[in-house]
Structure 1
Amino acid sequence: MSASADPPAAPARKRSVVRSLLRLWPYVRPVRARVFGAALVAIVAASMGLIMPLVLKWIVDGPVTDGDTAGVWLGGGVLLAVGVIESLLFGLRRWLVARPLAGVEADMRSALYRHVQRLPVSFHDRWATGQLLSRGTGDLQLLRMFLAFGLTFLIVNSATILIGFGVLMAQGWQLGLVLAAPVVPLIWLCVAFETRFSLVARRAQDQMGDLTTVVEESILGIRIIKGFGRHRSQARAFHELSGRLRDTELRKARLLAGIWLVILTLPEVFLGAALVLGVAQVADGDLTAGTLVAFMTTAMALRWPVESIGFLLALCNEAATATDRFFEVMDAEIPAEAAREATAADAAAAGDGLRFENVVFRFPDSPPDSEPVLNGVDLHIRPGETLALVGGTGSGKTTLIGLVPRLHEVTSGRITLDGTDIATLPRERVRELVAVAFEEPTLFSATVRENVLMGAEDAGRAELDRALRVSQAADFVAALPAGVETEVGEQGLSLSGGQRQRLALARAVVGRPRFLVLDDPLSALDVHTEARVEAALREVLADTTALVVAHRPSTVQLADRVALLSGGRIAAVGSHAELLHTNAEYRHLMTGEHAESEVSVS
């Protein structure tokens, strides 16, 4: 088991870090006052640190030179007060941004979740679950850290460096020029670092998504892994992906170590040169001792802002990558509602049941000249009728029924419900009219009651009991520890396959839908339970228009008529008995008898 799909490749063009980060503005805008207020407070706090060298200069050139003990105590008190104010201001900065930026992260996560829920099934077919999970968790946490820390200190440290160099130049322009000398090579190195680091950062975050997918699939598929003794192969797959991620992270660490080495070493060399030059000027009487002390103290105060450049650049790149990954999902288009207006023919055909008119479908990411999965399907299920859909493996039965609740959109042609084209209806309305139950039942980590009532949120206990009775689930549900309030666990894996399928069927019928679409809903049941479910289902099917995918004669017998899907078209329609006698392909599918002549089954 491995990642089911990879996300679309990142754009090959060089992306702008600033342009990427600016896309966060709509989410930050509601709290901009507190964010920029926090940055302003932090700048003031950092400026307090630059006041200390000036106080030291006054102490050395004044009270210390004059032997004024009271003045020394006064200067020490001023230094203590400045330090306390600086600490309080930094605490205020943290208080200002903590709550609003936690809200920004929550808003972005909610927006991502809502968007993912609205995206078509074709999107989820292409994307691995782990990639989506990593974007909604790790990437958003990284963005919150950047907004709370990286962005603030990028602004603060830049302002501190500018103010600090202004103070240095005012104290001694020659010494200031010495310290300013490494600025140009540092800028060039930082640009080169940003280009290389951004590629590695993106690779690491994508690999983390792949690793998350493997972990998620391994946990969900633990019974298969244990049943087939595949734990060693899964461990190897995990080890391989983990090793790739480790190598990429080490590559990031080497790049970061290299830029840190340069950023730490280069200023230290020039700081030493400035100190030698300053001592010589003091010896010559061109500079006071207090000015040299203030100059060197200011230069030391600028060490952290300068040294943090490498870390902040790395954080900016990782945040920009996380932003790109977030918007890769958010930029995925949701199919537009109401593709066309209802026509007079629609209105005139009210009460017409379910109708497919020349329906053609090919998957959105398939080549334009590829053969469509469905090619001109024409089918009419009359009001109150149950029609069984039969076809060979890969004939497109599941795709066809997925078009009814608009899990996919038709490429051409149309589908109508009681005469109204479903493309003219909001998806919410279509899914109110159409209930579905799939062959692979999906349950959620919730109670039995919550899982069943997903089919009709406003249904009461009477409807719940009826649905459980129809699906023959009432007895086993009553035997559960807490009855309908029992948690079924993730994916409902605490239940058997037949129990999950019966709950999925109960979910489909609980809301008494006008249209019912069932994808082989009885495949996991034993023959005795199947017979009881069929008997109860007849009561439900008598009051609804139903399309049922069937693979067994017992399921076909629930239907009034049968349609054979072959080669992307409806090849025959009739009763079960009629098709057994007149259609060789249908007879082969239902009885296993070989056709007298070769029959193509798609």
Structure 2
Amino acid sequence: MQIHDLPYPDPGVPDARSGPRFLWWLGRNQLGGQARSLAWGLLHFLSVCGLPFCVGLAVQAVVDRSGARLALTGGLLLVCGAGIALGDTMLHRTAVTNWITAAARVQQLLARRTAHLGSALTRRVAAGEVVAVSTGDVEKIGWFVEAVSRFGAAAVTVVAVCAGLVVYQPALGVVVAVGVPVLVLAVLPLLPRATRRADIQREKAGRATELASDTVAGLRVLRGIGGEELFLDRYRRASQEVRTAAVRSARMWSLISAVQVLLPGLLMITVVWRGVQLAREGRIAIGELVTVYSAVMLLTYPLQHFQEIAMAYSFSRPSARRAARVLSLERATDFAGSREACVPVGDLYDPRTGLLAPAGRLTAVVCGNPDAAGVLAERLGGHPVEEGTSVLLGGVPLDELPLDSARTAVLVQDKDPVLLSGSLRELLDVPASDAVSAGDALAAAQCDDVLDALTQASRAGESPMDARITERGRSLSGGQRQRLALARSLITDPQVLVLDEPTSAVDSHTEARIAEELRRLRAGRTTVVFTSSPLLLDRADRVVLVHEGEVAAVGLHRELLHAEPRYRAVVTRETDDEAARHSGVSAELEEIEESA
């Protein structure tokens, strides 16, 4: 796989049982790229380590006054130089290709998993963690995949050089062959502590980033209540903790680097000391001593990649663990489904609560617990919390339908919909039946003031549909964002539309007009609205009160308002004292009616 071939036609099915297994799976899926990188790495490193032998031969040729051997050595140096240049260039090219293609594979897998899980993803994993995995963690994973081939080439080169020195000059080669493994293994006891400190640093950095994101997102509210200084102090403390953890982590890695400088230096001193003794005794030639000394000096270059692979693995292991955690998440239902693809038509029924939404009618649902309302809305969209609680549409369980069919049949707009950055035209460019135009949907959602605001913020003469919407629509008010999200949902014109508090940030006059337009535009379609607004409830064909996870009452708004105290308590927000007085008055009226 080359960069110009991206994205992958199929990124594959990852082994997400653990972080190391996921890294191993990535490596196995890039064997061709790893092999090419390994080959170019061997050419580069062997050419580098071939220089000492050439230098030794040249020195010995000068000592022996042999012009032919000196000329031959010069030719070998040119070959080694060409191998170094070509190998280094192609190693960098192939290694970076491995990095980018591995990162692209992980990002494709994450995007596919996000689309597969839908709104269920953020219920099970924090949104900040998903962002961290798809950005910083992807780079760390790619770094490890890229470093593997360089480490492999460095390891083969070190073994080859040690074996060559043993054959070339056994007296000194044995010292090098024994000393190099000591260099490699000496830092192993330090790696666990360095890894732990790096993990602590990343954890604290993640918390600081999350705190900063929350502060920026809620800056308008914080300024309103004068709380920006409080959150700023919290971020200062969090950033100082990150700095302290980073310093502690850097100290450990600097110690590892110092050890990898100190020990090769000691090995070099040992080789020179022993070599001088052997040269005085006449057991080795000057050229052989120069060769062994130069080889030990240049061995520090491939040995640096042992430290790199240790760092890359220690940084990528928690990143791979987080990625594997996200990729291992599954929907409660099968992606392919056990039924053929179809869009069933009929009543929407939840057997767990007993909620029935008749086909083609506007049903309003009142829940005293907003969290319970959100869970029920998600279940109506085909996301059962547990097995055996699937919602039925036209008698067909949604969890038995293929995912695409279930999403075509039922659309759920939660209470905090997200607006993606881009133009208004791009925002409203969603899969739709084309039965509802963008203009009709915007009019029904009462977005005239939104269009005016976008027109004022855009360039002169630019259509409101081409006006830019900032990230998450932060340049708009909460009510404007809510109405744009409602317009986007109305354009899709699904068989069943589930709205969770679609007008909670809208004034009463606008809410009344939205209720009328919603009823008109969705005529003949099944619509379920979770709300406690009397304006919406009064225009519903059917109102259902869900209390403690079960349907407690069904009827019209005005009927339930007088006959059902629990419904009245939720809709009118009356206090316990008011409810008691209302119950007393109702009891007195009943007694009067009975006596009459």
Amino acid at match of 1:55: C
Structure 2 residue 41 is the aligned partner of structure 1 residue 67: no
How much does 1:483 deviate?
0.9
Q: Quote the residue 1:316 is aligned against.
A: 313
Conservation of the 8 A alpha-carbon contact between 2:332 and 2:387: no
1:585 matches 2:566: yes
Matched residue, 1:54: 53
Counterpart in the other structure of 1:3: none
Among 165, 168, 172, the alignment partner of 1:168 is: 165
Cα distance in structure 2, aligned partners of 1:586 and 1:207: 46
Whether contact under 8 Å (2:331, 2:383) holds in the other structure is: no
Encode CA deviations 1:444-475: one digit per residue, 9 max, x unaligned: 21222332343x34638x61111112222246
- Residues 395 and 566 in structure 1, CA contact (< 8 A), matched pair in contact too: no
SS of residue paired to 2:251: helix
Rounded Cα–Cα distance in structure 2 between residues aligned with 1:421 and 1:588: 34
Distance in 2 (CA, whole Å) between partners of 1:587 and 1:320 is: 55
What does residue 8 of structure 1 align with?
A: none
Cα separation, 2, equivalents of 1:551 and 1:534: 13
Q: Does 1:144 align with 2:163?
A: no
Q: Work out which of the residue numbers 156, 161, 178 in structure 2 matches 1:159.
A: 156
CA distance in structure 1 between the partners assigned to 2:506 and 2:283 by the alignment = 98
Pairwise CA distance, 1:589 = 3.0
Pick closer, same or farther for the CA change 1:408–1:246 going to 2, 3 Å: farther
Matched, 1:468 2:468: no
Counterparts of 1:204 and 1:465, CA distance in 2? 51
Residue 189 of structure 1, CA deviation: 3.0
* Structure 1 stretch displaced more, 121-130 or 509-518: 121-130
Q: 1:596 aligns with which of 576, 580, 587?
A: 580
Letter of the structure 1 residue corresponding to residue 362 of structure 2: T
- Equivalent residue number for residue 101 of structure 1: 99
Within-5 A mapping of 1:262-277: 262-277=259-274
1:4-43 superposed matches below 5 A: 20-21=19-20, 23-29=22-28, 31-43=30-42
Provide the C-alpha distance between the structure 1 equivalents of 2:251 and 2:137, rounded to a whole number of angstroms.
Answer: 22
Partner residue, 2:360: 384
Amino acid aligned to 1:353: D
Secondary structure, counterpart of 2:580 in structure 1: coil
Q: CA deviation at 1:325?
A: 2.4
TM-score by length of 2: 0.85
CA shift, 1:127, in A, is 2.8
* Residue 531 of structure 2 is aligned to residue 550 of structure 1: yes
The alpha carbon displacement at 1:29 in A equals 4.3
| Aligned-partner SS, 2:434 | coil
Cα distance in 2 between the residues matched to 1:127 and 1:564 = 31
Contact 1:339/1:423 (8 A) holds in 2: no
Cα contact 2:419–2:472 (8 A) shared by 1: yes
- The reply on whether 1:116 has 2:114 as its aligned counterpart is yes
1-side partners of 2:433 and 2:156: how far apart? 58
Instruction: Specify the alignment match of 2:550 in structure 1.
Output: 569
How many angstroms does 1:405 deviate by? 0.9
Cα distance in 1, alignment partners of residues 86 and 406 from structure 2: 58
Check conservation: 1:109, 1:140, Cα contact below 8 A: yes
- Contact 2:384 2:390 (C-alpha < 8 Å) held by counterparts: no
Q: 2:454, 2:468 within 8 Å by CA — same for their partners in 1?
A: no
Is the CA contact 1:463–1:511 (under 8 Å) kept in the aligned structure 2? no
Alignment of 1:364-375 (within 5 A): none
Q: Which amino acid aligns with 1:473?
A: C
Q: CA deviation at 1:89?
A: 1.8
Counterpart CA distance in 1 for 2:500 and 2:40 is 62
Distance 1:419 1:173, change over 3 A: same
CA distance in 1, matches of 2:333, 2:387: 14
Identify which of 175, 195, 199 aligns with 2:196. Answer: 199
Residue number in structure 2 paired with 1:459: 434
Could you tell me which residue of structure 2 aligns to residue 445 of structure 1? 421
Question: Alpha-carbon deviations, 1:64-112, whole Å to 9, x = none?
Answer: 1243567545534542442233212211222233335312211211211
- Structure 2 gap ranges (5+): 1-17, 456-462, 584-596
Q: Any gaps of 5 or more consecutive residues in structure 1? A: 1-18, 360-376
Measured in 2, the distance between the counterparts of 1:407 and 1:334 equals 8
Q: Deviations for 1:511-570, whole angstroms, at most 9, x for unmatched residues?
A: 333222222322322232223222222212432222222312211111122222212221
Aligned match of 1:477: 451
Secondary structure of 2:259's match? helix
Q: Indicate conservation of the 8 Å contact 1:395/1:567, yes or no.
A: no
When residues 264 and 276 of structure 1 are mapped into structure 2, their CA distance, relative to the original with a 3 A threshold, is same
Could you tell me the percent identity over the aligned residues? 26
**Contact 2:345–2:495, Cα closer than 8 Å, also in 1:** no
- Cα 1:84/1:106, change in 2 over 3 Å: same
Distance 2:38 2:240 in 1: 39
Contact 2:37 2:150 in 1 (8 A): no
Q: Which residue of 1 aligns with 2:469?
A: 488
Aligned to 1:16: none
2:165/2:292 contact within 8 Å kept: yes
2:460 maps to what in 1? none
Instruction: Kindly indicate whether residue 498 of structure 2 is the aligned counterpart of residue 517 of structure 1.
Output: yes
* Alpha-carbon offset, residue 144 of structure 1: 2.2
Matched, 1:397 2:373: yes
Task: For residue 138 of structure 1, report the CA deviation from its aligned partner.
Answer: 1.4
Structure 1 pair 423–232 and aligned structure 2 pair: CA distance change class (3 A) = same
**Contact kept in structure 2, 1:168 and 1:176, CA below 8 Å:** yes
Deviations 1:231-287 (A, max 9, x none): 322222222332333233223222222223333223322321221221122222221
Report the alpha carbon displacement of residue 164 of structure 1 after superposing the two structures with TM: 1.3
| SS of corresponding position for 2:354 | strand
| Residue identity matched to 1:520 | E
Letter in 2 for 1:505: L
Letter in 1 for 2:307: G
Sort the Cα spacing of 1:474 and 1:434 in 2 relative to 1 into closer, same or farther, 3 A: farther
Q: Do structure 1's residue 426 and structure 2's residue 402 form an aligned pair? A: yes
CA-based RMSD of the aligned residues comes to 3.0
Alignment TM-score, normalising by the size of structure 1: 0.84
Find the aligned partners of 1:249 and 1:73 in 2 and give their Cα distance.
Answer: 53
The count of corresponding residues between Structure 1 and Structure 2 is 554
Mapped to 2, the partners of 1:238 and 1:76 lie a distance apart of: 62
Distance 1:469 1:508, change over 3 A: same
Pick which of 381-390 and 94-103 moved more: 94-103
Superposition deviation, residue 31 in structure 1: 4.0
Matched residue SS, 2:504: coil
User: What's the CA shift for 1:400?
Assistant: 1.7
Residues 264-322 of structure 1 show CA distances to partners (whole Å, capped at 9, x for unaligned) of 22332232122122112222222111111111111212122335433432223222332
SS of corresponding position for 1:23: helix
Q: Which amino acid aligns with 1:459?
A: D
- The answer to whether the 8 A contact 1:354-1:418 is kept is yes
